[in-house]
Amino acid sequence: MKDDVIICRCEDITYGEIVEAIDSGLTTLDELKRVLRTGMGPCQGRTCSRLIARIITERVGGEVADMRFLLDRPPTMPVEIGILAGKNDED
């Protein structure tokens, strides 16, 4: 695959950037997320996690089945902070 193919759309991270990070020793989805922000955008890794998992196995071996995926935490959707704080438009 060409280096400039976008893998993480939210954070604009390319295949080349991910491969470089993996080759530098970041071999889990979590490590890549912390360094590259892949999976930290509005989609929370829904679009790219599977693709990145595959790239990791291609570079360092192993099976996607054995991989630890990103933790799911609330909120599932981006939400205005005011709503969580109790803002009520009727007020």
Residue type, 35: V
3-state secondary structure of 8: strand
Does residue 61 belong to the site contacting other proteins (CB under 8 A)? no
Q: DSSP letter at 6? A: E
Site string for other proteins, 9-48 (x = CB under 8 A): xxxx--x-------------------------xxx--xxx
To 10 degrees, what angle do helices 29-36 and 15-23 make?
Answer: 110
Footprint of other proteins (CB under 8 A)? 1-2, 4-7, 9-12, 15, 41-43, 46-48, 50-51, 64-67, 69, 71-79, 83-89, 91
